[in-house]
Homo-oligomer: A and B are copies of this chain.
């Protein structure tokens, strides 16, 4: 449906999802859906949807045990976002590129 980069960016574009992901990353053990729900002012079903989105992006993987589903964070996919940004790093500082734009568009005014 949509490319991987888009799926990944959209997953982390939501603040609640970033919070859930962060909570999972720093958690000392995997957290069940209900445990996560208790930490957020949202219904369990709401959390479930976010987890699904994070799972689709590969940022979370589930571990079913009995009636519970434990959520684990997986930061690896973030590498892909980082890689995408690499190309633009060269334009971050003292942007010669921007200067170039300026010269090309403002000079002959």
In the complex, chain B residues whose CB is within 8 Å of the CB of A91: 25, 73, 75-76
- Cα–Cα, bound, A89→B77 (Å): 10
Verify A95–B76 contact, CB threshold 8 A. yes
Verify B105–A92 contact, CB threshold 8 A. no
By secondary structure, the A interface counts as helix
Number of copies: 2
In the complex, chain B residues whose CB is within 8 Å of the CB of A85: 78, 81-82
Q: How far is the CB of A27 from chain B (nearest CB, A)?
A: 8
Does A23 sit within 8 A of B, measured CB to CB?
A: no
Residue in contact with A6 in the complex, picked from B15, B76, B101, B109, CB distance below 8 Å: B15
Chosen A-B contacts, 17 in total, with CB atoms closer than 8 Å, are A3-B15, A5-B15, A9-B12, A29-B105, A63-B101, A63-B106, A70-B105, A72-B101, A72-B102, A73-B98, A73-B101, A75-B92, A75-B97, A78-B85, A78-B88, A78-B92, A82-B82
